[in-house]
Structure 1
Amino acid sequence: MTETIRRTSRVRASELLGRAWLNTGGKQLSLEELRGKIVILDFWTFCCINCLHVLDELRPLEETYAEVLVTVGVHSPKFEHEADPEAIAAAVERYEIEHPVLDDPELITWQAYSARAWPTLVVVDPEGYIAASLSGEGHVAGLTSLVEELVAEHEAKGTLHRGDGPYVAPEPVSRTLRFPGKAVPVPQGFLVADTGHHRIVQLAADLETVIRTWGTGEKGYADGPAEAAQFNEPQGLTLLPAELAEQVGYDVVVADTVNHRLRGISTVTGEVTTLAGNGVQRLLDTERTRAEQPTGSLGTDPLNVSLSSPWDVLWSATLGRVVVAMAGTHQIFSFDPASGELAVCSGTGLEGLTDGAPEQAWYAQTSGLAEDSAGDIWIADSETSALRVLRTSADAESPTVETIIGQGLFDFGFRDGEPAYARLQHPLGVTCLPDGSVLVADTYNGAIRRYRGEHSAADGTLVPAEVSTVARGLKEPSDVLLDADGESLLVVETNAHQLVRIAVPEEYLTVDEGATQTQRPRTPVAAGEFGLTVSFQAPTGQKLDDRWGDPTQLQVSATPPELILSGAGTTEGLNRKLQLNPAVPEGVLHITARAAACDGAPGEEIPMHAACHLYQQDWGIPVTLNPEGDTALTLDLRGVK
C-alpha cells in the first residue's frame, strides 16, 4: 500500500459550531448533513497569506472531486477586526470562496479540533471520522492521494454519496471598482489595482471616471494587448523613471499577486508583459546550499525564478531598482528592469519581528512600501502590526531593518503616543510626506495613522517622536498617498470599493483604545525539562532531500525570552529539549519547523533537476506554567499520527 497522510486511529469528528454560516443561502449546516461526503475543514483567517495560498491550492481539488468532496472553511480570527461579521462576509466575497464558511469568532470549533496554527486542514471521512490533520500549505499532493483512497474505500462500502454539495452562490453585485488594493498618481488621474476585478484601471482625477483599463476582468494569466491581458488579484503598482521606461519598453510595474509574477505595462502601447516569475509559488531555493545565506542575487533570468505573492512594488531612486514586498516568503526582493536581475534584498524567510542585517532580519507578510527623501524604505509589515524602516547604508547591498512600531506576531491594538507604546492592527499601506512624517494605512483599525520622528520645533526645542491618528472610520484602507494638490490625502478604501480624498488635519487625534494580543486557549506546561517534537512525513512521490545534510530545521524562541532557560535557537532536526523557567508564569512559545523534500522514490537518488518543496509552519503556542501541566508537546507538520 502506498504511503498516505491518513490517521491510523478512528476518532469521531466534532460538530461544527459557530456564530453563523456563509455561502449556504442562510442554512445552518451540521456534520450529520454532510455524512456520505469527504469533508475538508479549512481553518483559516483572512489576514493570513498562507491561508490565502491554501484557498487557491484547494480549488482544483474541489473542482475535480465536486461530487464527493465538500470543503468547509472554518474562519477562526487572529485579529479583533477579523471577528466583525461584515469584514468576514467581505473577505469571503473578495477571495471568491465557493464553499460554505463557518464563522467561528470564539474559536469553539478551532478548539474542538485542537488547531494550533493558521492554516490547519482536517479531513473527515464519509462516516464522520477524522482521516487526517495537516498544518500549513503545500499539501495538495497528499490530499489528492487521500481523497482517491477514501473514494475507493467508501464506494466499495456503500457509504459514499455522490451529488451536489451545500454551497449556495451569493447574488453578484455590479461595481466600478471591486476591492481595490493600491494606487499611484499619473499625469491624468490615478492608476488603480482593481484587485477584485483582476485588472488595472486608470481613473480620472474625479476618482469615478474610468479612462482606460488593462485586463479582461476575469482572473487568469495572459500577456498581450490591454483588452486581452489577464491578471489575478493584482496589488502594488509603481512607475519607472522616463529614461528607464523608454529603454525597457514599459513604464508601470505591477505586483500580480496570485499569479506570483511581476508584470509590466506600457501606457503608450497598452501592451502587458511578464517581467519576473514563472508562475510557480516560491517554496524553496533549488540550490539548497543557499539556505545558510538566503540573501543575494537570484540571477538575471527572472522568468525562471519562482516568486511568492508579491504584494507591493516601489521604484527606489536610491537603489536604482524596483523593491518588492514579497509577502508570501516574508522578505524584501529587488528587481533591476535594465539587467533583469532579481535579488533577495532582506529577510531570512522566517516569519516574525527581528531587526538587523539582511541575513538576520525576519518579516511577517510585508505588504506596503514607500521611500523617503533620505532614501530609506518604509515597510508596512502586516502580520506583526508593525511599521519598519530599511535603512540604506553607504553599501546599498546591505540595508539594515529597524522596527519603529510593533511588538510581535500576536500583539496589536489602537494606541497613539510614543512609538514603543503605540499599536497598529494589520497595516497594509505606507507613504512618506515632505515634512518627514510617515503615514500608515492602518487597515484593520480602519484608520490613517501618522508617525513623526524626533525633530526640532520652530523655536528650536526638540520634539520627541510620536504616533497620532489622521482619520478613522474607514473600511479597510489598504493604501494612502498624497494627492496632487499636496493639501489632501488619497485613500484606497478597499471594503468600500472606492478611492476617497480626506483633508490633512491641522491637528491630529490622539487615540488610546489599548493594546491586546491574539486570544487563544493557553496550554498548561510544567517548568523544567520540556520536550518538543514536530512530526513530518514526505508525501507519496517525494523523499527527504538529504543531499546537503539534515533537511529539517527547528527554530524556537519565546515571549518573553526569559520563558526558555535553554534550548532556544535554530538547529537541524525536528526534536528539541527545552528548559522552561519556573519564575515566568505564562508566555508564548514561537516555533518554526521546516522540512525539504524533492520528487523521487524512497531509496532512490534524487534526480539533478527534480522539483523540490519546502514545508514550513509557524506556531505561536500560548502557555501557562503549571506543575500538573504537560512535559512535552507534539506538533504535526504533515499530520501523520
Structure 2
Amino acid sequence: LSGEGHVQGLVPLVEELVAEHEAKGTLHRGDGPYVPRPAPEGDLRFPGKVLPLPDGSFLVSDTGHHRLVQLGNDLATVQRVIGSGTKGHRDGDAAAAQFTEPQGLTLLPEAVRAAAGYDVVVADSVNHRLRGVDLATGEVRTVAGSGVQRLLDAERARGAGPDHVAQGADPLSVALSSPWDVAWSTRADRLVVAMAGTHQLFSFDPRTGQLAVLAGTGDEGLKDGPAAEAWFAQSSGLAEDHLGNLWVADSETSALRVLRFADDGSVTVETAVGEGLFDFGFRDGDAGQARMQHCLGVAQLPDGSVAVADTYNGAVRHYDPRTRQVATLARGLAEPSDVLLDVSGDEPLLVVVEANAHRLVRVPIPAAAQRVDEGASQTQRPRTRLAPGALGIEVRFAAPTGQKLDDRWGDPTQLKISSSPEHALAQGAGTAQGLRRELVLAEGVTEGVLHITARAAACDGEPGGEIPDHAACHLYQQDWGIPFVLDADGEAELVLDLRGVN
C-alpha cells in the first residue's frame, strides 16, 4: 500500500540495470518465454468491491478502469458508468468525475443520506480520499481527505499521537492513507473506514464531517484489546453483523478480526482467525489452528456466521462464531476481493468479486461446507543471533541515478523501530530522522522480533545540484520483521539495505 514510491523507484533502477548489462554484453533483447494474458472480455478490469442497491442492481468499483459501474441483477448488463475512466481526481457529473483505483463502497442510512446530500461513500484508495455519490444524478463530490497521504511518523514527529485528528478540522484538509473499505456502523452511528495505509480504522460522520481514529495505534501487526491499543495490518474489508459487531478482513495478517461495541461506548478488538504477520495457509477446523491467506472481503450470512473472501487461496471461507469452526464454502475462484450475501432470489446466494477474472459471479451456499487442510506456513526469516545489551542498526540507501536526497527541509531519511514483546527494547524504540540508531536490548528478554521501517525521500536532480522546480519526488520505504534470539557470541550490529543496495 505504500508501494507507489516503490513503483516509481523501480523505473530508474531498471534503467540502471539495462545500462549496466548492455555495457557488459549480458543483456538479451528480443522475445522471451513470457506470454501475456489475453485481455479480459467483459466490461470490468480488476474490480474491487461490490454494493447491492435497493433496486436490485449492483454498484461495482471497477478499480482497474478508475470508475464505478452499475450492473443489472444478472451481474453483466451495464446500466450506468460513474467516472470518466481516466485516472485522476475530479468532482462533477458522472461523465466528468475522476477516481484513482476506487475500492470500498457503502450505502448510507436513509436519514444520513438526506442530511449529507449524497447516498454512497467510496473509498478512493490511491487518491487518499472519501468520495460521495448522488445515485439520482451520478454527481460525485469529495467529502474527506486532502489528497496528501497521511504519514503517522510525521504526525508523531510533531508531537501528535497516532489517534490525532484535530477536533473540528475541515475533513477536506485531513490527510488519509489508502482507504480500502467503508461500512456503516449502527453502534458507532458513524461510517467506519479501513485505513489500510496506516493500519487503522477511522470513523467519519457524513452529517458533520467529523473524522476520528476508531481503532489502531498505527503499528502493523496483530494485537487485541482496547481499540486504542490494537494493532492491525492493512485492513481491507468491513461488514457489520446483526448484533452490531464489525468484522474486519485484516489482509496482511491473513486474519479475521472483530470490533465489539459496549454500551458504555468502549470498543474492543478480538481475533477470530489468524496468528500474525508471518502466518498463513489453507487450513479449516478449529479457529485457533485455521489459516487463511490475504483475505480482503467479509460478509454476514443469514445464520449469523461470516463469509470471508480468502483472496490468495482463491476461496470463500466460513467462520461460525458459536462453534469457532472454520470451513470452506467455495474454491477455484480467481483472487476473490469481496463477497456479499444476495437475498434477491428464491434462496440466498453469495455474490463474489473475482478480481483476477474481471467479473462478478453468484455462488451457492452449500448445505455442508468443505473441510480443507493444505497446511499452515510461515514467512518468518530465521532467527538472528544478537549479543545482549547495545545493538547498532544501520540502513544503507543510495538514491538512484538521476535522483538526489530531498534535503530541502532537513534530513529526508527516517527510522521507525519497535519490538515484540514491547519491553524487549530498553532504549531506542520510536521514530526519528536518520538511518542509524543505537538500541539497547532489555535485560531478561531472551528472544523477540524487531520491527523496523526505513524511509528515504529523493527527487529528480543531480547530486550536488539544486532540485529543479516541479521535480518528481519519490518516497522509498521498506519494512522488516527480524526475529532474534540473544547469544553471547551474537551480532552487535545489524546492517540492512533499502532498495537492495550492496
Which band: TM-score by shorter chain?
0.7 to 0.9
For residue 294 of structure 2, what is the amino acid of its counterpart? H
Q: Deviations over 1:513-555 (max 9, x none)?
A: 11101165x365255446141448974212259xxxxx96521
Shift of 1:244: 1.8
> For residue 533 of structure 1, what is the aligned residue in structure 2?
393
For 2:280 and 2:428, the matched residues in 1 are separated by: 25
Which stretch of the first structure deviates more once superposed, 166-175 or 381-390? 166-175
Change (3 A) 1:173 1:369: closer
For residue 210 of structure 1, what is the amino acid of its counterpart? V
> For residue 516 of structure 1, what is the aligned residue in structure 2?
377
Change (3 A) 1:279 1:526: closer
Q: Given the alignment, which residue of 227, 243, 267 partners 1:358? A: 227
Give TM-score scaled by structure 1 length: 0.65
The aligned runs of 1:400-419 (5 Å cut-off) are 400-419=268-287
The aligned runs of 1:66-85 (5 Å cut-off) are 69=12, 71=14
The aligned runs of 1:529-608 (5 Å cut-off) are 529=389, 531-535=391-395, 539-543=406-410, 553-557=416-420, 567=426, 570-571=429-430, 574-578=437-441, 589-593=449-453
> For residue 634 of structure 1, what is the aligned residue in structure 2?
495
The aligned runs of 1:21-170 (5 Å cut-off) are 49-55=1-7, 57-58=8-9, 62=11, 69=12, 71=14
Give TM-score scaled by structure 2 length: 0.82
For 1:566 and 1:261, the matched residues in 2 are separated by: 36
For 1:473 and 1:70, the matched residues in 2 are separated by: 36
The aligned runs of 1:173-572 (5 Å cut-off) are 173-186=40-53, 187-284=55-152, 288=157, 291-292=160-161, 294-295=163-164, 299-396=168-265, 398-454=266-322, 464-484=323-343, 485=345, 486-518=347-379, 520=381, 522=382, 524-526=384-386, 528-529=388-389, 531-535=391-395, 539-543=406-410, 553-557=416-420, 567=426, 570-571=429-430
Shift of 1:54: 2.7
**Sequence identity percentage:** 52
* Kept in 2: contact 1:480–1:491 (CA 8 A): yes
For 1:312 and 1:620, the matched residues in 2 are separated by: 26
For 1:287 and 1:70, the matched residues in 2 are separated by: 31
- Counterpart secondary structure, 1:359: helix
For 1:207 and 1:408, the matched residues in 2 are separated by: 36
Q: Deviations over 1:23-71 (max 9, x none)?
A: xxxxxxxxxxxxxxxxxxxxxxxxxx2235532x449xx5xxxxxx463
- Counterpart secondary structure, 2:112: helix
* Kept in 2: contact 1:351–1:618 (CA 8 A): no
Q: Deviations over 1:297-327 (max 9, x none)?
A: 5534111111111000111122121110011
Shift of 1:366: 0.6
* Kept in 1: contact 2:429–2:439 (CA 8 A): no
> For residue 94 of structure 1, what is the aligned residue in structure 2?
none
What runs of 5+ residues in structure 2 fail to find an aligned partner? 24-28, 398-404, 460-473
Change (3 A) 1:322 1:552: same
* Kept in 1: contact 2:91–2:140 (CA 8 A): yes
For 1:451 and 1:409, the matched residues in 2 are separated by: 20
For 2:161 and 2:478, the matched residues in 1 are separated by: 19
What runs of 5+ residues in structure 1 fail to find an aligned partner? 1-48, 63-68, 73-122, 129-158, 160-164, 455-463, 546-550, 600-612
Change (3 A) 1:394 1:289: farther
* Kept in 2: contact 1:293–1:359 (CA 8 A): no
Change (3 A) 1:580 1:517: farther
For residue 337 of structure 2, what is the amino acid of its counterpart? S
For 2:142 and 2:486, the matched residues in 1 are separated by: 53
Change (3 A) 1:58 1:593: closer
Shift of 1:349: 1.1
* Kept in 2: contact 1:310–1:328 (CA 8 A): yes
Q: Deviations over 1:227-253 (max 9, x none)?
A: 111111111000011222122221010
Q: Given the alignment, which residue of 607, 618, 635 partners 2:479? A: 618
Shift of 1:218: 2.0
Residue-pair matches, total: 468
Shift of 1:355: 1.3
For 1:167 and 1:377, the matched residues in 2 are separated by: 50
> For residue 12 of structure 1, what is the aligned residue in structure 2?
none
For residue 358 of structure 1, what is the amino acid of its counterpart? A
How much is the aligned-residue C-alpha RMSD, in angstroms? 3.7
* Kept in 1: contact 2:256–2:271 (CA 8 A): yes
For 1:429 and 1:296, the matched residues in 2 are separated by: 27
For 1:404 and 1:193, the matched residues in 2 are separated by: 28
For 1:297 and 1:387, the matched residues in 2 are separated by: 31
- Counterpart secondary structure, 1:440: strand
